[in-house]
Amino acid sequence: MFYAEAMTVTGADFVELDRIAVEEAVRVVDLATAADWARDTPCAGWTLRRLVAHMSAQHVGFAAAARGAGREPEYWREPEDMSEPARTHRSAAAAVLSAFAEPGATEREFTLPELGGGFPGGQAVGFHFVDYVVHAWDVAATLGSAVELPQQVRVAALAVARQVPTDPARRGPGSAFAPVLEVPVGSGPLEEALYLLGRDPGRWPARRRTR
C-alpha cells in the first residue's frame, strides 16, 4: 500500500489514476497553439514549451525506470527538438502509460535519480501520478483553461500531496514543488492539493477556452 494512513490505494490503483491524469495532461497540452508556447507558466521561470519538455522527459524517464533502466541519465534528459511540443509530449506519454501497464510493473523497484535512489513500483507510480495532476493543471492554467479530472483523482491527489515532505531541502528552487501555501477555507480537494504543493490557483483563474 502507498500512503495507507491517508487512504487505501494499491499500486494497481495508482496505475489507473495515473492513466487518467496523464491523458488529461495530453488533452490540455494539445489545446496549445503556436502563440502559446512562449507563455509563462505557474512553474516559475519556465515557458510552456520548457514545461512540456520537462513533462516529456519525466515520462520517458519513468518509463525507463519501470523497465529497470532508471539509472541511465539519457532517459531523463529533456528533448533537444521541441519544435512540435504537443507531438513530443504525446509520444512520451504513450511510452510511460505502456510501461506502467506491463504486468508486474508496480512490483519492481524503480530507480529515480532525482529523488535519490530506488523506490517500490507502486510508490513510484504514485509520485508520477501526483506530478501529472499538478502539471495538467499547470498547462491548463497557462492556457486559461480548466482541468477535467474525476473526483476520485482529485481526492487521491490530495491524499498524496498531504504526505509530500515540507522541509526546505525538499521545496523551493531545484525541487519538484514550491513551499506550501496557505489553503483557503472551502477549497476543494484539487485546489487544496495545489496549495500544498506550492501552486496558487487564485493567481491563475480559468477562462473558457475552446479550439
Q: What is the CATH number of the domain that holds 27?
A: 1.20.120.450
Whether residue 117 lies inside any domain: the answer is yes
Whether residue 144 lies inside any domain: the answer is yes
Whether residue 175 lies inside any domain: the answer is no
Contact 129, 159 (CB under 8 A): no
Instruction: Give the DSSP H or E segment for 161.
Output: helix 151-161
Domain count for the chain: 1
Residues 136, 191: Cα–Cα separation, whole Å: 13
In sequence order, the 6+-apart residues with CB closer than 8 A to the CB of 26 are 89, 90, 93
Whether residue 193 lies inside any domain: the answer is no
What is the model's pTM? 0.90
pLDDT exceeds cutoff 80 at 5? no
Whether residue 85 lies inside any domain: the answer is yes
Tens-digit pLDDT profile for residues 42-87: 998 999 999 999 999 999 999 999 999 999 999 999 999 999 999 9
pLDDT exceeds cutoff 80 at 25? yes
How does residue 170 score in pLDDT terms, banded at 50, 70 and 90?
Answer: low
Whether residue 206 lies inside any domain: the answer is no
9 three-state secondary structure? coil
Contact 206, 194 (CB under 8 A): no
Residue 116: left (phi > 0), alpha (psi -120 to 50), or beta?
left
- Nearest Cα neighbor of 185 from 202, 198, 197 is 202
Whether residue 106 lies inside any domain: the answer is yes
Most confident of 22-26, 115-119, 169-173, 197-201: 22-26
- The whole domain housing 112 covers 11-155
> Angle at CA 155, nearest 5°, toward 149 and 8?
125
- Predicted confidence at residue 209, as pLDDT, reads 53
Contact 136, 41 (CB under 8 A): no
How does residue 171 score in pLDDT terms, banded at 50, 70 and 90?
Answer: low
Whether residue 2 lies inside any domain: the answer is no
Q: Which of 12-16, 52-56, 89-93, 121-125 has the lowest average pLDDT?
A: 12-16
What does the buried/exposed string (b/e) look like for 93-111 if buried means 16 or more CB atoms within 10 Å of the residue's CB? bebbbebbeeeebbebebb
Q: Which residue has the cell 474525476?
A: 150
